[in-house]
Chain A
Amino acid sequence: MIYLLIGGLLFLAIVTFVQIIRVSELLSKIRNKDVNEVTENDNNIQGKILLVVGFGFLVFVIWQIVAWKHLILPPASSLHGVEIDSLMNTTMMLILVVFFITSIILFFFGFKYRGIKGRKAFFYAHNNKLEIVWTIVPAIVLSGLIVSGLKVWDSTMNVTSENSQIIELHSRQFQWAARYAGEDNILGKHDFRLIDRATNPLSLDKGDKYTIDDKITNEVHLVVGKPVMLKFRSDDVIHSAYIPHFRVQMNCVPGVRTQFGFTPTKTTQEMREDPQIIRQMQELNDRIDAMSLIEKTVFLDENFAKTVDDLPLKFDYQLLCNKICGSAHYNMKMKFVVETQEEFDTWIAQQKEVGGLVLTKK
């Protein structure tokens, strides 16, 4: 029934439309003019609208920057992230300036030179000097961007695992696991053919002497100021380990070894005291507060595996999957905690070694 109604309404709308157009066409026929010829009046009106809407768009852009600035990620919580942020800010300023200047010129020229009957446009086919200038100026600016970009890229990607704590991030549809390399800081070997979901979900080589002290966890704890080297693995499709607050991202590719090394600089606790984070969490908690009890319960359970007792929610670093990996792609995440050496020592001591697990289960 509802479809019939919608269909009927659509039909009526189209008929009305046709009639309006017919009338306007007939009227112009009476006046002996073609309704579809663009007149001086049209140029005038459209030129003005272009100016208004064009500048409206620029105002909309400024409004977004003001209104949503606090939503974007806070300054990086890692050493290399600071360099990235600084280059990002420079680039962003540059493109905003160019964006505003060129957009203003575009909309203004459109308005200013709207057609007038009888005026002749200026025949201006080329000017080599001018063209050379706007080839060379962008080229110089871009060289600057490229050089500083390559510097940052080089220092970010060419990190050795010496002195770093080694952690393996294992991914499969749709969950993450972490494996700490243990006392020896060397990960034991693995081979996907050793898979046994019940007893050996990470397909580890139990005979390898380095395996025994490895520790498997379902969240990652890091020591503030201490370099870490993440090694990535995937069991099925390509996943991507994305930890936005650290400016870290790397794909987990089945059959290919990938890694990313970085140094966290702010503890979870410090982040929770950051004014921008406080504001972000405040807005989230307000939103949850506005829900009914049932909505709250479902929402917290589905998204955080938490209950209403855990309210208000607190900030945590999150690892997100950032490569399309299947139906629950959007819900594949893991908690990261950055803490002091003492806190870390306490936590890691509570985690069981693989050797122990394997022995008891066999």
Chain B
Amino acid sequence: MSDHHHKETFITKYIFSQDHKMIAKQFLLTGIFMALVGMLMSAMFRVQLANPGETSILYNLMPSNWMDPDTGALLQDKYLALVTMHGTILVFWVLTAGLSGTFANFLIPLQIGARDMASGFINMLSYWFFFAATVVLIYSIYVPSGPASAGWTIYPPLSAEASYIEGSGLGMTLWLVSITLFIVGSLLGGLNYIVTILNLRTKGMSMKRLPLTIWALFVTAILGVLSFPVLLSCGLLLVFDRSFGTSFYLSDLIIGGEAAHHIGGSPILFEHLFWFLGHPEVYIILLPALGMTSEVISVNTRKPIFGYQAMVLSLLAIGFLSFIVWGHHMFMTGMNPFLGSVFAFTTLLIAIPSAIKVFNYLTTLWRGNIRFTPAMLFAIAMVSTFITGGLTGLILGNAPLDINVHDTYFVVGHFHIVMGLSAIYGMLAGVYHWFPKMYGRMMNKNLGYLHFWGTFICAYGVFFPMHFLGLAGLPRRYYANPVDMGQITDINDIITFFALAGAVIQFIFVFNFFYSIFRGSPASKNPWKANTLEWTTPVERIHGNWPGDLPEVHRWAYDYSKPGAEEDYIPQNVPLKEGESEH
């Protein structure tokens, strides 16, 4: 398959590649780049919050019209531009495309035993739409009126009218263009993932034998395909309202002291459409991380994942429930209180499959023989953040309790821990774990440890104190704290300290990543002694994945430390011995 393949030029191999492994790396590199951009933005607004109204050397990374010409301080609406872009970049660019794009592309064909995605060409298109979206989004930061500034949730009317905030002019238009390209890319990718998983599994790879990573990526792709089109239509109606004078979302507006013509629309309609994507989006972000964590934990405890079937069912349950809980983002919008009751009920139900997952992870660790690779540490940290952040969801999801913490820093702490950190940890676990397969070299272990401990400590130092700010009644997206709560300055200083330290530590990872691509020690074929099929491929990473025939699967992916076996792992392509039962 590989040798008689057509000759590849630099362009077809590295740029317009149709090889899923190369496309995965393209997604990963773009994702890392965008993660750094988003992180630097957060560093900037954290500096502003710790020293409101003062200048900082960091602001020089932004166009000069973002700063007050006299004091050099960050302008108020540019602060909002920063939080908006930070949210957009992290939610969509890093944790959707960077995470799913990388690992769905990389792992699906390798773990199900396929030569490539169902359509290599569509897969390539998926990346290039994403790339175009990235270019437009980055460009929008540098237009004179600034990028979109109405929050990543772009609620109209703020996002609809440039006189309400400058960024809602050209910046918002570009945001909409960019997100449209992004959605096209992610739909092309998602369809491909689903088709590939359903049709291209190798012989013996029944759905019941799929590794949990693939199950998670499968559910993720389904969520994406069902929910992203709704965001597209939601954005389209906003384009009509902005440019063609319709009133889907707008009504009773006064613009520049004059009554505008809009009548009859409702911003709440926008919120419904937005969160119909927005909530599944949370699980689009989280599920791949949960899947990879399952895999990494099982491999490194040298134990089967506890309750494989329950893990799959809880993934499906979370996926299903994620479509009927979006209203919990809208308890305080004036939505009918009865609807609030329904959404509070469905929301709290999600805690059940989530609890199952946590208990199953803990049981998997029990009586294991844990090998602490950097990936394993990140996986454990992911379980920790999933617990910490998930529990506060019981407060936010319960409608009456949400009244007083809605839109405060309590929410910021909650979702950054349960969704942000968990997903980032899952992603980093994935990078450390599969790096040898991606680049044929190992990442430096000790730098990995350093990166992990720095990140773990700083991240909790940033996000845990935020709960207290929220309980003190501090709203989010504030340029400076209302001074009635002046005492809170101390907490803000602590958060900013950890945020900056945490940001610096990420450069250890960046360094390790690029250094190891070129100079890392060579990896063996199966460095972690893992069972899944990707570790049966040669180190050289050939087009078509396996040099000879495709491997045949005879068992599930979790035969670690099976009694009676000589080694503590049995790859999936090893036939069952006589009399050996499957689990």
Q: What A residues does B521 contact at CB under 8 A? A: 25, 34-36
Partner of A21, one of B77, B351, B447: B447
- Inter-chain CA distance A84–B484, complex, in Å, is 23
Give the number of residues in B that approach A within 8 Å (Cβ atoms). 131
- Inter-chain CA distance A274–B296, complex, in Å, is 52
Chain A binder among B119-127, B201-209, B463-471, B530-538: B463-471
Asked if B449 is at the interface (CB within 8 A of a chain A CB), the reply is yes
- Inter-chain CA distance A87–B308, complex, in Å, is 36
Asked if A113 is at the interface (CB within 8 A of a chain B CB), the reply is yes
Chain A stretch 220-252: residues in CB contact (< 8 A) with chain B: 232, 234-238, 240, 242, 244-245, 247-251
Q: Is the CB of B484 within 8 A of A318?
A: yes
Contacts A256-B267, A324-B477, A327-B76 given: A126-B444 contact, CB under 8 Å?
Answer: no
Asked if A206 is at the interface (CB within 8 A of a chain B CB), the reply is no
CB distance from A311 to the nearest CB of B (A): 13
Q: Is the CB of A102 within 8 A of B358?
A: yes
Q: Is the CB of B164 within 8 A of A330?
A: no
CB distance from B399 to the nearest CB of A (A): 4
Partner of B562, one of A123, A146, A251: A123
Chain B stretch 282-313: residues in CB contact (< 8 A) with chain A: 301-304, 306-310
Chain A stretch 36-81: residues in CB contact (< 8 A) with chain B: 36-38, 42-43, 46-47, 49-50, 53-54, 57, 60-61, 64, 68, 71-73, 81
Asked if B400 is at the interface (CB within 8 A of a chain A CB), the reply is yes
CB distance from A236 to the nearest CB of B (A): 6
Asked if B151 is at the interface (CB within 8 A of a chain A CB), the reply is yes
Contacts A72-B468, A195-B258 given: A84-B400 contact, CB under 8 Å?
Answer: yes
How would residues 187 to 231 of chain B score, 1 for a CB under 8 Å from any chain A CB and 0 otherwise? Answer: 000000000000000000000000000000000000000000000
Nearest neighbor of B341 in chain A, beta-carbon distance? A150
Q: Is the CB of A173 within 8 A of B164?
A: yes
Asked if A328 is at the interface (CB within 8 A of a chain B CB), the reply is yes
Q: What A residues does B301 contact at CB under 8 A? A: 113, 121
Partner of B259, one of A105, A193, A256: A193
Partner of B341, one of A34, A135, A153, A235: A153
CB distance from A141 to the nearest CB of B (A): 9
Q: Is the CB of A109 within 8 A of B362?
A: yes
**Count of A-B contacts with CB under 8 A?**
379
Partner of A247, one of B304, B403, B461: B403
- Inter-chain CA distance A325–B157, complex, in Å, is 9
Q: Is the CB of B446 within 8 A of A116?
A: no
Asked if B273 is at the interface (CB within 8 A of a chain A CB), the reply is no
- Inter-chain CA distance A154–B403, complex, in Å, is 13
Asked if B246 is at the interface (CB within 8 A of a chain A CB), the reply is no
Chain A binder among B10-18, B175-183, B371-379, B571-579: B371-379
CB distance from A10 to the nearest CB of B (A): 9
CB distance from A325 to the nearest CB of B (A): 6
Partner of B251, one of A18, A247, A255: A255
Asked if B155 is at the interface (CB within 8 A of a chain A CB), the reply is yes
Asked if B515 is at the interface (CB within 8 A of a chain A CB), the reply is yes
Chain B stretch 357-371: residues in CB contact (< 8 A) with chain A: 358-363, 365-371
Q: Is the CB of B479 within 8 A of A50?
A: no
Q: Is the CB of A124 within 8 A of B306?
A: yes
Nearest neighbor of B562 in chain A, beta-carbon distance? A123
Contacts A14-B511, A327-B76, A327-B165 given: A121-B367 contact, CB under 8 Å?
Answer: yes
Provide a sorted-by-A list of 8 A–B residue pairs whose CB atoms are within 8 angstroms.
A46-B377, A88-B401, A106-B365, A110-B380, A123-B304, A146-B348, A318-B484, A326-B80
- A: residues with CB less than 8 A from B are 2, 14, 17-18, 21-22, 24-25, 34-38, 42-43, 46-47, 49-50, 53-54, 57, 60-61, 64, 68, 71-73, 81, 83-84, 87-88, 91-92, 94-95, 98-99, 102-103, 105-107, 109-110, 113-116, 119-127, 130-131, 134-135, 138-139, 142, 145-146, 149-150, 152-154, 156-158, 172-173, 192-195, 197, 203, 232, 234-238, 240, 242, 244-245, 247-251, 253-258, 280, 283-284, 287-288, 299, 303-304, 316, 318, 320-331, 333
Q: What 6 A-B pairs are tightest by C-beta distance, nearest first?
A: A255-B251, A244-B473, A258-B334, A46-B372, A157-B337, A122-B367
- B: residues with CB less than 8 A from A are 57, 75-77, 80, 150-151, 155, 157-158, 161, 164-165, 250-255, 257-259, 263-268, 301-304, 306-310, 332-334, 337, 340-341, 344-345, 348-349, 351-352, 355-356, 358-363, 365-373, 377, 380, 383-384, 387-388, 391-392, 394-395, 398-401, 403-404, 406-408, 442-447, 449, 453, 456-457, 460-461, 464-465, 468, 471-473, 475, 477-489, 491, 511, 515, 519-521, 527, 558, 560-563, 568, 583
